[in-house]
């Protein structure tokens, strides 16, 4: 009865928000590692083989303006908590164990929950469970072993090492598929699977589908070569395809909402062909090269097929979107910066955001970058202004607010007011020092090598 009540409440919430569904949907959230917008064929990419993701986009909705943080941990924290980093970011590879996550909220509403893949948020064995996940198979949880050939993983906190040619992404994928199959045996209880993939992060090593795959390879310093990035993208797409195939096989595809997005831009310096030109990956940079990622949502019978949406989407928007799709009411005392785009997933106008605020400091202290991004314009805390239609990757000298006129001046004024809204948002106990400074190239390169 304790489980029935939250499920019933969730169902009632779904019916009351204007969309009558037969049941709360299963939710699968897939997060690729270091995968920029330019890599998917459906987005205009020309270098990589992504048929499964292209099909997911063709039968669902593709969001063209999804922006996340330039680095892994900052994005994951925003994604899981629905809050901008200014409110809760502590340091790289760290999360406050008292955080309320989307898993916490959905589990409290009757969902079975699991996470499979890359963790990198703290070493306590029970931390994933404390943050809302019933089950977990993770890399970089209690330690940092190799992730690809012959990896080390943690299954519900238990460390396991593999030495017989196993491939880490395959093992994690199997855990995810087994969780889906187990949950399908109890169709009255919906599930949430958060699948933060290890692919396609460097080192760029051969996959089991590569001609030079070496099942005896040990460690992350061997067989690294830029040419393997294409193989890793293709293998990532293959694993996504296996998830879709599993829910089809189990007959639950119509009850399952699938999301796919990247956690930051493609690895710094990685070259791809995009819409007829060479595109340079910009992970760790605060331009579109480091923050613009693919986002696809697919729910048969609910998402309009072959749809591209140009609304601004931010990584903080994931939590409220998951909650609305599940009919889960967010507690009034929980500060949320995100805005649900669930109506857009259903083909409705929704309430698109006008701007995205960013506070980016990988180490929780200077160098800090704060800025506001609109569709056409961008303003940094220190007054640097960019017209993104003319200079989408911020290659040119920025304008000064005092020199702006017309629409640019009006937009800059609005963005300045947004920055002012967040001037005191950083909790006092997290303030290590004040001000913004320009990251040096060496600092950017160091950040780009982090997981």
Q: Among 353, 379, 407, identify where a domain stops.
A: 353
Q: Is residue 413 located within the same domain as residue 327?
A: no
Q: Is residue 182 located within the same domain as residue 75?
A: yes
Q: Is residue 145 located within the same domain as residue 216?
A: yes
**Residue 174 three-state SS:** helix
Q: Is residue 386 located within the same domain as residue 347?
A: no
Q: Is residue 257 located within the same domain as residue 375?
A: no
Q: How far is CA 321 from CA 167, 296, 310, 348, in A?
A: 33, 13, 17, 14
Q: How many domains, the chain? A: 2
| Class of residue 343 by CB neighbours under 10 A (exposed 0-12, middle 13-18, buried 19+) | middle
Q: 57 and 436 in contact (C-beta within 8 Å)? A: no
The CATH number linked to 243 is 3.40.720.10
State the DSSP H helix or E strand holding residue 87, giving kind and residue range, or none if neither.
Answer: helix 85-88
Q: Cα-flanking dihedrals φ and ψ of residue 125, to 5°?
A: -60, -30
Matching residue, tokens 């800059």: 412
Residues of the domain holding 400:
359-448
Distance of CA 237 to the CA centre of its chain: 16
Q: Is residue 41 located within the same domain as residue 92?
A: yes
Matching residue, tokens 């072959």: 306
Q: Among 296, 331, 353, identify where a domain stops.
A: 353
Matching residue, tokens 């880490």: 168
**Rg (alpha carbons) of the chain, rounded to whole number:** 21
Q: Is residue 107 located within the same domain as residue 221?
A: yes
The token pair that represents 407 in the structure block: 């629409």
Q: Is residue 312 located within the same domain as residue 365?
A: no
Q: Is residue 367 located within the same domain as residue 441?
A: yes
Q: Is residue 324 located within the same domain as residue 295?
A: yes
pLDDT tens, per residue, the chain with 451 residues: 333 333 444 444 444 344 456 789 999 999 999 999 999 999 999 999 999 999 999 999 999 999 999 999 999 999 999 999 999 999 999 999 999 999 999 999 999 999 999 999 999 999 999 999 999 999 999 999 999 999 999 999 999 999 999 999 999 999 999 999 999 999 999 999 999 999 999 999 999 999 999 999 999 999 999 999 999 999 999 999 999 999 999 999 999 999 999 999 999 999 999 999 999 999 999 999 999 999 999 999 999 999 999 999 999 999 999 999 999 999 999 999 999 999 999 999 999 999 999 999 999 988 999 999 999 999 999 999 999 999 999 999 999 999 999 999 999 999 999 999 999 999 999 987 544 555 546 666 677 778 8
Q: Among 298, 323, 353, identify where a domain stops.
A: 353
Q: Is residue 308 located within the same domain as residue 385?
A: no
The token pair that represents 279 in the structure block: 């595109």
Strands 307-314 vs 61-67: parallel, antiparallel or unpaired: parallel
Could you tell me the pTM of the whole model?
A: 0.94
Q: Is residue 268 located within the same domain as residue 391?
A: no
């Amino acid at each position: 009865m304790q489980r029935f009540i939250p499920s019933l409440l969730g169902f009632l919430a779904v019916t009351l928000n204007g969309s009558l569904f037969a049941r709360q949907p299963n939710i699968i959230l897939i997060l690729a590692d270091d995968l920029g917008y330019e890599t998917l064929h459906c987005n205009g990419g020309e270098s990589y083989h992504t048929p499964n993701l292209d099909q997911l986009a063709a039968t669902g909705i593709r969001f063209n303006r999804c922006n996340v943080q330039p680095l892994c941990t900052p994005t994951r924290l925003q994604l899981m908590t629905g809050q901008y980093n200014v409110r809760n970011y502590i340091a790289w590879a760290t999360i406050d164990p008292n955080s309320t996550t989307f898993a916490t909220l959905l589990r409290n509403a009757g969902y079975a929950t699991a996470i499979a893949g890359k963790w990198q948020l703290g070493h306590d064995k029970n931390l994933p469970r404390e943050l809302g996940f019933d089950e977990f198979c993770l890399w970089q949880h209690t330690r940092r072993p190799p992730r690809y050939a012959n990896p080390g993983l943690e299954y519900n906190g238990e460390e396991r090492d593999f030495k017989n040619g196993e491939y880490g992404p395959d093992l994690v994928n199997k855990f995810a598929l087994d969780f889906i199959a187990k949950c399908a045996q109890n169709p009255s209880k919906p599930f949430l699977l958060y699948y933060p993939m290890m692919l396609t992060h460097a080192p760029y090593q051969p996959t089991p589908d590569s001609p030079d795959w070496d099942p005896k390879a040990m460690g992350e310093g061997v067989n690294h070569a830029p040419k393997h990035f294409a193989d890793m993208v293709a293998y990532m797409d293959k694993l996504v395809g296996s998830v879709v195939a599993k829910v089809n096989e189990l007959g639950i595809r119509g009850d399952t909402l699938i999301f796919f997005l990247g956690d930051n831009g493609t690895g710094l310096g990685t070259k791809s062909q995009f819409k007829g030109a060479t595109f340079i990956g910009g992970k760790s940079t605060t331009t579109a090269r480091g923050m613009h990622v693919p986002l696809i949502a697919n729910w048969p019978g609910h998402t309009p097929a072959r749809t591209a949406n140009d609304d601004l989407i931010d990584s903080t928007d994931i939590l409220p979107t998951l909650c609305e799709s599940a009919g889960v009411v967010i507690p009034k005392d929980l500060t949320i910066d995100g805005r649900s785009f669930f109506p857009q997933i259903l083909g409705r106008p929704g309430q698109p955001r006008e701007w995205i605020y960013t506070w980016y400091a990988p180490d929780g202290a200077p160098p800090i970058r704060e800025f506001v991004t609109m569709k056409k314009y961008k303003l940094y805390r220190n007054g640097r202004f960019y017209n993104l239609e003319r200079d989408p990757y911020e290659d040119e000298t920025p304008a000064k607010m005092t020199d702006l006129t017309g629409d640019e001046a009006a937009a800059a004024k609005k963005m300045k007011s947004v920055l002012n809204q967040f001037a005191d948002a950083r909790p006092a106990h997290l303030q290590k020092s004040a001000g913004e400074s320009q990251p040096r190239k060496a600092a950017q390169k160091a950040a780009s090598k982090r997981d």
